[in-house]
Amino acid sequence: MTQGILAFGAYIPWRRLQRQAIADTHAWFNPALKGQAKGERAFCNWDEDTVTMAVEAARDALRGRERSAVAALRFASTTFPFLDRLHSGIVADALGLDEGISAIDVTATQRAATSALIEALSSTTETLVV
């Protein structure tokens, strides 16, 4: 089996906020922000959270790939929307992955994604890391 990154996907929220608006709003306490007021910033809508963005990124990564080949799912985030729920299970269900898939949430550190990637690389099965 080939080890490494076989595909990748991305999702960027479509809403935009001009950096100038941010700088103008906060200039009263930090005038130096004016120097960073170029361009725009993407931000989530009220109905987008880490789960919905993970599903969209995973759909992009799995485009053209056989979903039945995915044996494990690792969902890494520092900000899950629910306190006590298996977020990776929600993602697996939304993607239509096999019911018996190994789904694990990786959290509680800013290195969650790195930990999930390391765990996936040490696995002998095809693992989706979101």
What does the domain layout of the chain look like in residue ranges?
14-43, 50-129
Model confidence band, residue 88 (pLDDT cutoffs 50, 70, 90): very high
Q: 3-state SS string over 24-86?
A: HHHCCCCHHHHHHCCCEEEECCCCCCHHHHHHHHHHHHHCCCCHHHCCEEEEECCCCCCCCCC
Class of domain 50-129 as given by CATH: alpha beta
- The model's pLDDT over 96-120, given as tens digits with 9 standing for 90+, comes to 999 999 999 999 899 999 999 999 9
- The model's pLDDT over 7-50, given as tens digits with 9 standing for 90+, comes to 999 999 999 999 899 888 888 888 887 888 889 989 888 889 99
**The pLDDT value given to residue 68:** 94
